[in-house]
Chain A
């Protein structure tokens, strides 16, 4: 989904001017190939960020749960060694 959105984003970008200030021949096949790869890589970037966000949220939640449990243990005073190491 994210990938297809990015493909559209690249190819349906509305802009009023052509390649600005270009005086060398930009080619045709090579330019399309560059755009296709850029679209794919751009999509990859979103996917990577999306996956990173999910994994970091999951690890946040996991560490939150662990610290909750730790807090509960500390509160009960049943593990002296842990309390000592924090001190």
Chain B
């Protein structure tokens, strides 16, 4: 399946979990030169650039079979490269703002370091970056090309502003979520769109003046002479050009820093676990003991933590050696978890995602970026659904059988699920008087529903609560 095709120098295909890039002569020359450079080696060694090489015989065979099916002809591509596969691809509309900031910083680091070795970055989009756990990895190696040392223009400047700076600015100052921005526009925001949101005095203040107002004013004046601005320009010497670009990157770093999301933000969910710790310590301790026991016995390799909140159980699973994808609908708690995972080095990829409205397939033919559920298919051998299904049942009115049927699709083996009975105070708070809708929802009914799809390995009632936690194994 082709998942990237905008660059005329090549396209990216994913065939049977192999990531292959077909490139033309120009692309191959640039890519080979870049791979041989010190900067590429340095970033690959640091895990910040996807490992890339020439494909083995089996990959070549897979590719030629694919191409033959696709075109009906037996044509060999000019050159093929194989990239390492990142375990769970994610997209900017699933990231916390902190993660977009991290991807922006990596883009600038790479662009600036490559410049010193005579390579330019020809596009600066967050889709060039994927996350391996909490660490950003630049994956589009075809984005690097040899550049003229007297060229004073960083061509993806406007794209970097649209895709990184302006979405972060709109998030920080106007509370717009990345999900809203990137699902609506692949490339982020135009300065003109943000200009409409700014107040009169705001338009004249940093960072709005140089990021939003001046580009908007200049765009409106560029009418007749527009063709002139797109001409290639050269400066008198490479030293002068390097001076100009050095200051440009310093300015971009300053601007990125100004729109960096604030640390220690608060939402209604940030204190959820600490509240439980202080008000129901036994309940939390028992649940932790249950989960740790299951992790220790079954040693899952890939865990999906649904409704992870601040990542209390994601951290336990990651410390046990699993790779964790932790999802929650609250960008603030997800951002906090990302900061912590990035600092501690735990293998957790936190994503802003509501399982009742998972990310759809988007882009050309709905096939450029796969839906969350398509990516999750077969990716996890344990799914955690702790203190979350009552939110789905009550707030989203998803039937219990549907929730369990999705869970069985998401896991290849195990499910740990917490059943919260309708007489639990949290359930009642969510139900807001609609108790009659859940009068048949008892622990026995829940257990019977589970038994249709799973075998019950272990079940425990949690101390002092109308809650039960189940370890379930998928029926074969």
Q: Which residues of chain B are within 8 angstroms of A22 by Cβ–Cβ distance?
A: 122, 155
Q: Which of B7, B229, B236 contacts A28 (CB 8 A)?
A: B229
**B159, B215, B231, B232: the one within 8 Å of A33 (CB):** B215
Q: Is A1 engaged at the interface, CB distance under 8 Å to the other chain?
A: no
**In contact, A26 and B244 (Cβ under 8 angstroms):** no
Of A19, A29, A45, the residue contacting B155 (CB under 8 A) is A19
Within residues 118 to 168 of chain B, which ones have a CB less than 8 A from any CB in chain A?
A: 122-125, 145, 152-159, 161-162
A17 to B216, CA, bound (A): 26
Contacts of A66 in B (CB 8 A): none
A24 at the interface (CB under 8 A from B): yes
Does B158 lie within 8 Å of A21, measured CB to CB? no
* Contact status of A29 and B7, CB under 8 A, knowing A13-B234, A23-B122, A24-B123: no
Contacts known (A18-B231, A30-B161, A34-B157); A41 close to B216, Cβ less than 8 A: no
Question: Is A73 located at the chain interface by the 8 A CB criterion?
Answer: no
Q: In the docked arrangement, what's the CA distance between A30 and B165, Å?
A: 12
**Would A37 and B230 count as touching, CB distance under 8 A?**
no
User: Contact check: which of A15, A27, A32 meets B162 at CB < 8 Å?
Assistant: A27
Given A15-B233, A20-B232, A24-B123, the answer on whether A30 and B244 have CB atoms closer than 8 Å is: no
Q: Say yes or no: A29-B232 contact (C-beta < 8 A), given A41-B243, A45-B240.
A: no
Taking CB atoms, residues of chain A closer than 8 Å to B219 are 27-30, 32
Minimal Cβ-Cβ distance residue in A for B214: A33
Taking a contact as CB atoms under 8 Å apart, the answer to whether A29 and B122 are in contact is no
Chain B, interface size category, equals 35 or more
Report the separation of the CA atoms of residues A28 and B161 in the bound assembly, to the nearest whole angstrom.
12
Q: Is the CB of A46 within 8 A of B125?
A: no
The 0/1 profile, CB within 8 Å of A marked 1, for residues 378-400 of chain B is 00000000000000000000000
CB-CB < 8 A to B231: which residues of A? 13, 15, 17-19
For residue A15, give the distance in angstroms from its CB to the closest CB of chain B. 5
Contact with A along B199-220 (1 / 0, CB 8 A): 0000000000010001111111
Inter-subunit contact A10/B233 (CB<8 Å)? yes
B232 near A18 with CB under 8 A, answer yes
* A-B residue pairs in contact (CB < 8 Å), sample of 28: A10-B152, A13-B233, A13-B234, A17-B232, A19-B232, A21-B145, A23-B122, A23-B123, A24-B6, A24-B125, A24-B159, A25-B159, A27-B157, A28-B219, A29-B214, A29-B216, A29-B222, A30-B215, A30-B219, A31-B153, A32-B222, A33-B210, A35-B229, A37-B251, A38-B153, A38-B248, A42-B244, A45-B244
Which A positions have Cβ atoms within 8 angstroms of B?
9-11, 13, 15, 17-38, 41-42, 45-46
Supply 20 further A-B pairs (C-beta < 8 A) apart from A24-B6, A34-B248: A15-B232, A18-B231, A19-B153, A19-B231, A21-B122, A23-B7, A24-B123, A27-B158, A27-B161, A29-B217, A29-B218, A30-B157, A30-B191, A30-B215, A33-B214, A35-B233, A42-B235, A42-B240, A45-B239, A45-B244
